Amino acid sequence: MTYCVGLKLDRGIVMAADTRTNAGLDNVATFKKLHVWEKRGDRVICMMAAGNLAVTQSVVSLLSERLKSEDPGRPTLHTVDTMFQAARLVGSAVRDVRAIDGEALAANSESFSVTFLLGGQIKGEAPRLFQIYSAGNFIEASADTPFLQIGEHKYGKPILDRVTQADMRLGQAAKLVLLSFNSTLRSNLSVGMPIDMLLYNTDSFSAHRQTRIREDDPYFADLSHMWSEKLRDAVAEIPDFEI
């Protein structure tokens, strides 16, 4: 499984993805699921993937190869004018991969199940965040729902539901995302460190605030420890239930 979260905030976008892939419990590996296409000064596009790894990697490869296409009639992630158009490119790449591999996967009873989060900003519009489905269709995050999750999303949702606010600073939002990961990692084996993260500041058109948080990261270790303590304290401070 996988866990990825994207937040669209007033000050920018936070994208985070774990790196565990597993084809059964005895076949666990680390793969990057967060991909960034940057044209500094003009656009930053970040995509995170959940689902069949062969399919998601093909989609990423198709999108990257097409950047080099010389056909001016064929839009690419480097040339589209809006994030909506970028989401359509991703959707169409998903459909292309299905056209190539779908039948063989079906014949093998394997699922063509993928989901993507696509966030970023293209000069001329505000940052936007999309979730793209296996069918190539998609939804967009709005002010009402500033975060989207894919993969193993349930364990880490309650804390996001409670605390996320569109006017958070990115560093605050990143902390919240890491708390959401912390709960997920604790309760589900199929999600694993390290965590890749991008903090994108509105109108920066630069993807330089990217990092990989490893198991031994001192901030993450402190956060996990403090969070456990504070949760236990919070529970203890609430009066016990009596019938």
If we measure between CA atoms, which residue out of 94, 172, 200 comes closest to residue 137?
Answer: 94
- Asked if 159 is part of the footprint of a copy of itself (rule: CB under 8 A), the reply reads yes
| Nearest distance, CB of residue 197 and a copy of itself, angstroms | 8
**Residues 168, 170, 172, CA angle at the centre, nearest 5°?**
65
Footprint of a copy of itself on residues 49-108 (CB under 8 A)?
none
Residue 67 near residue 73, CB atoms below 8 Å = no
Q: Which of 122/207 has CB closer to a copy of itself? A: 207
| Binding residue (CB under 8 A) for a copy of itself from 130, 199, 205, 207 | 199
- Asked if 190 is part of the footprint of a copy of itself (rule: CB under 8 A), the reply reads no
How many angstroms separate the CA atoms of 173 and 164, rounded?
7
| Binding residue (CB under 8 A) for a copy of itself from 40, 74, 123, 154 | 154
Residue 29, amino acid = A
Q: Which of 124/239 has CB closer to a copy of itself? A: 239
- Asked if 39 is part of the footprint of a copy of itself (rule: CB under 8 A), the reply reads no
Alpha helices in the chain (DSSP H): 53-67, 83-107, 157-163, 170-187, 218-237
| Binding residue (CB under 8 A) for a copy of itself from 87, 176, 191, 207 | 176
CA distances from 124 to 43, 98, 137, 161, 198 (A): 10, 32, 24, 30, 21
List residues near a copy of itself by CB under 8 A: 154-159, 161-163, 169, 171-172, 174-176, 178-179, 183-184, 186-187, 197, 199, 209-211, 219, 222-223, 226-228, 230-235, 237-243
